[in-house]
Amino acid sequence: MWPLWLLVSLLALSQALPFEQRGFWDFTLDDGPFMMNDEEASGTDTSGVLDPDSVTPTYSAMCPFGCHCHLRVVQCSDLGLKSVPKELSPDTTLLDLQNNDISELRKDDFKGLQHLYALVLVNNKISKIHEKAFSPLRKLQKLYISKNHLVEIPPNLPSSLVELRIHDNRIRKVPKGVFSGLRNMNCIEMGGNPLENSGFEPGAFDGLKLNYLRISEAKLTGIPKDLPETLNELHLDHNKIQAIELEDLLRYSKLYRLGLGHNQIRTIENGSLSFLPTLRELHLDNNKLARVPSGLPDLKLLQVVYLHSNNITKVGVNDFCPVGFGVKRAYYNGISLFNNPVPYWEVQPATFRCVTDRLAIQFGNYKK
């Protein structure tokens, strides 16, 4: 009876389907820019996405206990790990260690992982990182180390890095030189840290050519003036910014999306928005504005404006659209004005003459 049972068991295993990575591989080794609603990281360079078949040799027999290994992806999430597993295949391209209890990254934790493309350390207890912990990772492009206990940005990040997500830590300071040599970096997400304006040392972002930067849910009281001038997207929502002064945006002429929602903005100085000729989307919702910001009609490419949940009491006929035809190169496809104390029945229809469709206008004094 025993040999028969063993034969049946072996036959069943031989016909079983291999472990399949679902969702996470596609999310991390993406073939296009991130579009995650209001937390997008668009502009991310993906020219270095690895072809799994191009990496040799293969060490498929190596897989840490409790982890799932498939197609050079090693998934060791939600295992209660206290440290980085030791038996990692040298040809690993994605290592998922999220939702564990790792508190420290040691010098040799990633030794031999010269092909690693993405490292996920989200939601651990990491408070200490050895200065040479990332040295072996010469091809690392994506580092996700959010929701940990870091008080500083890790030193000596790999020069190959393209995307850094380090939000929801305890970082209060961004020193000069911390991003030195990171010429490939184009996306940083560092919101949810107790960063004040004084926490950014002059020249902290020198050398970076970022497309995307998010410093939301911090303690900023004004728009930082020393961020990379290459930015296409800047998200500063959920801070304590009270005003936009004339030259606050002077440096950021390449922006096409600016997020300033959920602040305490009362005034936007005349001419402030004129430095943003390529702006397509502007988020000013949930602030304390008493009127529509001046200068919107001059932004020829602007298509979306969020102004809901402010204190706007009046909307003028020329607040959004320029005078004359053929001036605006892109019509609006979204204007939100709801939850403002403006008598919408007094707004003239011509106010929205440069809007693609009346359904694009969200009006009325109501709350979601």
What HEC string does 49-95 produce? CCCHHHCCCCCCCCCCCCCEEECCEEECCCCCCCCCCCCCCCCCCEE
What integer is the mean pLDDT of 114-123?
Answer: 98
Please report whether residue 325 resides in a domain: yes
298-334: burial string, b at 16+ Cβ within 10 Å, e else: ebeebbbbbbbbbebeebeeebbbbeeeeebeeebeb
Of residues 53, 30, 55, the one with CA closest to residue 42:
30
Cα angle, residue 120 at apex, residues 118 and 124 outer, rounded to 5° = 160
Mean pLDDT of 130-152: 97
Cβ contact 169:187 at 8 Å = no
Q: What is the pLDDT of residue 29?
A: 40
Q: Is residue 7 exposed (0-12), middle (13-18) or buried (19+ Cβ within 10 Å)?
A: exposed
> Does some domain include residue 330?
yes
**How does pLDDT run across 15-72, given as a tens digit for each residue?**
333 333 334 444 334 433 333 344 433 344 444 444 444 444 445 568 999 999 998 9
Task: Choose among 121, 59, 51: nearest CA to 90.
Answer: 59
b/e code 213-236 from CB counts within 10 Å (16+ = b): bbbbbbebebbbeebbeebbbbbb
Instruction: Give the pLDDT confidence score for residue 250 in this predicted structure.
Output: 95
- Residue 194 belongs to a domain: no
Domain of 248 in residue numbering reads as 241-367
Contact 266, 286 (CB under 8 A): no
> How many domains is the chain built from?
1
Res 365: pLDDT: 63
- pLDDT tens track for 219-278: 999 999 899 999 999 999 999 999 999 999 999 999 999 999 999 999 999 999 999 999
Nearest CA to 245 out of 215, 225, 219 is that of 225
Average pLDDT, the chain: 85
Distance, in Å, from the CA atom of 280 to the CA atom of 302, rounded to the nearest integer, reads 4
How many CB atoms are closer than 10 A to CB 20? 9
- Examine the pLDDT at 184 and tell me if it is beyond 90: yes
At residue 46, the pLDDT reads: 40
Task: Look at residue 6 and tell me whether its pLDDT is greater than 60.
Answer: no
Residues 156-181 have a mean pLDDT of 96
Token pair, residue 173, equals: 């300071």
Asked if residue 344 is part of any domain, the answer here is yes
Structure confidence at residue 364 as a pLDDT band (50, 70, 90): confident
Structure tokens given for 154: 């890790």
Q: What is the CATH number of the domain that holds 352?
A: 3.80.10.10
Which H or E element spans position 13?
helix 2-15
